[in-house]
A and B are shown apart, each in its own frame.
Chain A
Amino acid sequence: MAERAHPARSRDETAAQIRHLLETEGEAVHAHSSTMSARQAQIYDETDDIETLRTDARAIKEDAIDRLPELLETVREAVEANGGTVYVAEDAADANAYVADVVDDRADGRDDVADAPSVVKSKSMTTEEIDLNEALERDGIDVYETDLGEWVLQVADDTPSHIVGPAMHLSREEIAELFTERFDPDEEFETAAQLTEFARDYLGERIREADVGITGANFVVAETGTMALVTNEGNARKCAVTPDTHVAIAGVEKLLPSVRDLEPFVDLIAKSATGQPISQYVTMLTPPTASPTLDFAAPDAPIAGTDADALSAGTEPDREFHLVLLDNGRLDMREDDQLRETLYCVRCGACSNSCVNFQSVGGHAFGGETYSGGIATGWEAGVHGQDSAAEFNDLCTGCSQCVNACPVKIDIPWINTVVKDRINREGDAESYDFLVDGLTPDAETDTSGLDSGKRFFGNISTVAKLGSATAPVSNWLAETGLVRTLLESTLGIDRRRDLPTFQRESLVDWFEAQGGVAASRRRAERAASHANAADVGREAVLYPDVYTNYVDTDRGKAAVRTLEALGVPVSVPDLPESGRAPLSQGMIATADRQASRLYGAVAEDLDAGRDLVVIEPSDLAAFHREYERLLPTRSFERLRDNSYEVCHYVYGLLENGTDADALATADGGTDDQGEPIAYHSHCQQRTLGLEAPTTALLERCGYAPRTSSVECCGMAGSFGYKQEYYELSMDVGNRLAQEFESAETVVASGTSCGDQLETLLERDVSHPIELLAPDR
Chain B
Amino acid sequence: MTIDTVGRFERALESLEVGIERVPAADATERIAAAIDDPAVGVPLPFDGVSQPDAVTTAPTAGELERARTGVTPAQFGIAEYGTVAIRSTAAGNEPVSLYPDYHVAIVAASDVVPDLGAGFDRLEKHFADRESIVFATGRSATADMGDLVHGVHGPGTVSVMVVEDR
Contact = CB atoms under 8 A, between A and B. Distances in A.
Contacts of B93: 291-292, 303-304, 310
Interface in A250-281: 259-260, 262-263, 266-267, 277-281
Interface stretch (B3-11, B25-33, B142-150): B142-150
A234 interface: yes
Nearest to B155: A234
B147 A192 contact: yes
A267 B117 contact: yes
A515 interface: no
Could you say which of A149, A208, A225, A294 has the most chain B C-beta atoms within 10 Å of its C-beta?
A294
Nearest to B134: A284
A296 B136 CA distance: 26
B141 A313 contact: no
A291 B95 contact: yes
A200 B153 contact: yes
B133 interface: yes
A285 B82 CA distance: 20
B161 to A, nearest CB: 14
Interface in A281-315: 281-287, 289-292, 294-296, 298-307, 309-313, 315
B128 A259 contact: yes
Interface stretch (A164-172, A556-564, A737-745, A746-754): A164-172
B62 A299 contact: yes
A229 to B, nearest CB: 9
A221 B136 CA distance: 16
Given A242-B96, A290-B89, A291-B133, A193 B150 contact: yes
A694 interface: no
A246 to B, nearest CB: 11
A200 B58 CA distance: 25
A195 B153 contact: no
Contacts of B152: 196, 200
Interface residues of B, number: 55
**Interface extent on A, as a size class?**
35 or more
A50 to B, nearest CB: 13
A237 B59 contact: no
Contact of A310 (B61, B90, B132, B133): B90
Interface string B114-140: 000110010011001111111111111
A302 B144 CA distance: 35
Contacts of A267: 117
B60 interface: yes
B92 A311 contact: yes
B141 A203 contact: no
A32 B84 CA distance: 26
Contacts of A199: 146, 153
A289 B95 contact: yes
B65 to A, nearest CB: 6
Contact of B91 (A232, A238, A294, A315): A315
Contact of B65 (A193, A221, A303): A303
Contacts of A57: none
A432 B148 CA distance: 53
Contacts of A281: 135-138, 141, 155
Given A193-B150, A241-B96, A295-B62, A148 B145 contact: yes
Given A284-B133, A310-B91, A260 B125 contact: yes
Nearest to A297: B62
A32 B150 CA distance: 15
A291 B146 contact: no
B154 interface: yes
B50 interface: no
Nearest to A179: B146
B61 A282 contact: no
A415 to B, nearest CB: 29
A213 to B, nearest CB: 12
Contacts of A192: 146-150
A152 interface: yes
12 contacts: A224-B131, A232-B141, A234-B141, A235-B153, A259-B125, A262-B121, A284-B135, A291-B89, A303-B62, A310-B43, A315-B91, A316-B91
Interface of B: 43-44, 46, 58-63, 65-66, 82, 84, 89-96, 99, 117-118, 121, 124-125, 128-150, 152-156
In the complex, the 8 A-B pairs of residues with the closest C-beta atoms, listed nearest first: A172-B147, A234-B155, A299-B63, A192-B148, A310-B92, A149-B145, A315-B91, A148-B145
